[in-house]
Structure 1
């Protein structure tokens, strides 16, 4: 059943659906580009910066999400008080500053500082894009838009490692950061040329600590919002552990070498395929039923994956590993767009702050989970498999509690 919201007055879309989806996906995909283009370069960056612990280069990916957790808390209220366009502009400027710091880094510590600044800045475009989508769409309509955006967005994780490796072959890992600067400038120029402000001055919330605390309290004590948010943290935490360690898994454990970007792209395509499927199915079946099916799917995948890992003494054959992960990641792709839309739905005019708290909390949950799982990785897939199983089960429990709370709060059976 399609859902609507009575909270807030929605702006009218001015761009065609195709351009709007492409623009929003480009803005949000700056996050994925900043992460996945780095994956083939982690070992080389570690060598260039004198790192001896093989686990430490993984921090170049993990700390990015910690920076985003902080940045989203800033840009959420900023987007609600100063408008979406100003938040996006400030975020892009900070992102470029962080990129320059990374380019000048001569130690891992300075590189990590630059990555945190980068992540803080990229939170601006991400929050602005999410708030714009919430300004224009609601309920299953929002879930549909989010799924199509995810479908375009997923092309970046598919292509980014290939792009990063190509840059390294033609020049060096240092010029991956040059690429980031170019993409930020081009995407920002497109946005400011085409997308009007969606939060008029009459609907803005001037920042003050009392309303901020009241809005935050409303969101943090909203059981269904928090249930879906925690579930996203569990799911993404285990998935982030895989992303951070993917180069190690496929290049070192399986020895795929320069084929790593193609393997990574194949698995990322599964999530894009799921998003395409979800974009068509969500209007017919609703978000909640699809989430229930997908959660059962990811738990089932994790159980089978762990059985295979045990049977093959920690390292199943490459093609079997790719096949089972492709199937499991399809269910993960269904969850990403729907859980975020379900968490955002009750927040109305608090879209900016809501996106900030939801994104920040899910990141704060996911980073320690990923670091914990990755700390056990040595020469096999046991940590990844057990991480999937434990945290997918916890996500299933969290969603069930969120749905129970939603029924109690609103009597919504969608």
Structure 2
């Protein structure tokens, strides 16, 4: 089903907007799922990878770091280039890179080859994700943009639930290399979906020209928007808190509280479901409740969860019930914060959606790569480092929303910003 809408020029004259079809949204959801799938299906196989490639745990963990680095680099470079060259062909090229790198991972004879292939896999995946997001920003504005991005985040939240389960099934029935062949097959399916359902969303007259200099200028213009930077801080801080949870929750619940791996997987899935449900609720609220108020509610909840974890870690040894409850509140809060702040950030830079999405994605994945080692400093003995990160992340996120992205004291927002703000 194709959905057509009317935007308005600065003079108020209606102009026909490009089509945002169900097929486009479904394809972007599909592409968005690649990062958690490529990560979660693989993490549980670390011991087998270390054994088969005759290497240590640290070297295998480095392949996760290089994947996140590739994700950030792919988004940083891919977004501005798509602003200059268009979306569709570059989206297909990025998926080719990601798929080829997945095949290289599947046949990697050594940890060195695996590490390089994971970097390229992340680069292609990040490139594809940022272009997919830019396509949505090209085709939707206002409350509709918020609803679509929240819906994408909600459906994409299924991937962290499916990923570990699919990876476990693959390991049980086959070999860890099959996980990468699975990603390669999915990448091929994504290319077919793009060919069938995704049109070019950025016509030549809306593209930016001038090579690397123009890209640098676009980045400066985007970062010169104070409110955009504020929402960038909001999403980056929330993403850091999310990955602090991912990095340390297994130690807190399994090593410190004796939870079994199966029980932990169920709890992990429940928390991902809470995040997904929150994003769906936020999508329903778009246009009815101020998006900033929804974000603030999530930030307050995340701060409360962090304080509870910190007090529990210092005074009570982080009991199981406290940890489970705090983690659920924390993850549910991220469903209110991350997609909504991303939508408002995009609304601040409508002339450079690819660059805006690129910087947004780059900051998020840098946080995903940097925070886990810090959160893991407590090892299996204390949750204090993780709890401190949760509190600091919530406070920094509030600073981004309430100070950097505060409402301008003069005149109203432009028409494309009024609905979601």
TM-based fold match above 0.5: yes
Shift in Å, 1:134: 0.4
1:224 lines up with 2:218 in the alignment: no
Are the aligned partners of 1:40 and 1:247 in contact in 2 as well (CA < 8 Å)?
A: no
Matches within 5 A, 1:180-195: 180-195=183-198
What corresponds to 2:18 in structure 1?
12
User: Which segment is superposed worse, 270-279 or 350-359?
Assistant: 350-359
- Alignment match, 2:314: 310
What are the within-5 Å matches in structure 2 for residues 262-341 of structure 1?
262-313=266-317, 315-317=318-320, 319-341=321-343
Q: Distance in 2 between matches of 1:68 and 1:15?
A: 27
How far apart in 1 are the matches of 2:194 and 2:300? Answer: 39
Match of 2:71 among 68, 73, 79: 68
After TM superposition, the structure 1 = structure 2 runs for residues 131-170 of structure 1, keeping only pairs within 5 Å, are: 131-170=134-173
- Alignment match of 1:93 (pick from 92, 96, 101): 96
* CA distance in structure 1 between the partners assigned to 2:87 and 2:238 by the alignment: 28
Distance in 2, Cα, partners of 1:62 & 1:256: 27
C-alpha spacing 1:181/1:366, structure 2 compared with 1 (3 Å) = closer
* Matched position secondary structure for 1:349: coil
Q: What RMSD in Å do the two structures reach over aligned CA positions?
A: 2.5
Q: Does 1:32 align with 2:36?
A: yes
1:50 Cα offset (Å): 3.8
Assess if the C-alpha contact under 8 Å between 1:23 and 1:191 holds in 2: yes
Describe the shift of the 1:6–1:300 C-alpha distance in structure 2 as closer, same or farther (beyond 3 A): farther
Q: Quick check: 1:10–1:137 contact (8 Å CA) kept in 2?
A: no
Alpha carbons of structure 1 residues 300 and 96: separation in structure 2 relative to 1, 3 Å: same
Aligned residue number for residue 235 of structure 1: 238
Counterpart in 1 of 2:50? 46
SS of the residue corresponding to residue 45 of structure 2 reads helix
Give the corresponding residue for 2:211.
Answer: 208
1:79 matched to 2:82:
yes
Separation in 1 of the partners of 2:208 and 2:163? 37
Query: Which of 1 and 2 has higher RCO (CA within 8 Å, sep 6+)?
Result: 1
Structure 1 contact 66–363 (Cα < 8 Å) conserved: yes
**Number of aligned residues:** 405
Task: Provide TM-score, normalisation by structure 1.
Answer: 0.90
How far apart, in 1, do the equivalents of 2:101 and 2:248 lie? 24
Q: Distance in 1 between matches of 2:73 and 2:92?
A: 18
Gapped regions of structure 1 (runs ≥ 5): none
Residues 255 and 173 of structure 1: CA distance in aligned 2, closer, same or farther (over 3 Å): farther
Between the aligned partners of 2:343 and 2:15, the Cα distance in structure 1 is: 18
How do residues 108-127 of structure 1 correspond to structure 2 at under 5 angstroms? 108-127=111-130
> Contact 1:58–1:244 at 8 Å: present in 2 too?
no
| Partner Cα separation in structure 2 for residue 262 and residue 10 of structure 1 | 47
The SS at the match of 2:208 is coil
Shift of the alpha carbon at 1:376? Answer: 3.8
Of stretches 282-291 and 266-275 in structure 1, the one that deviates more from structure 2 is 282-291
8 A Cα contact 2:107 2:177, kept in partner: no
Deviates more, 1:359-368 or 1:186-195: 359-368
Cα contact 1:157–1:268 (8 A) shared by 2: yes
Q: Assess if the C-alpha contact under 8 Å between 1:5 and 1:348 holds in 2.
A: no
Match of 1:176 in 2: 179
1:377–1:383 contact (8 Å) kept in structure 2: no
- 2:408 is matched with which residue? 407
1:177 Cα deviation after fit: 0.3
1:68-107 CA distance string (max 9 Å, x none): 1111122112212222111211111111222123223344
Contact 1:79–1:86 (8 Å) recurs in 2: no
Cα distance between partner residues in 2 of 1:274 and 1:38:
27
Aligned counterparts of 1:139 and 1:376: Cα–Cα separation in 2? 43
> Shift of residue 312 of structure 1?
3.2
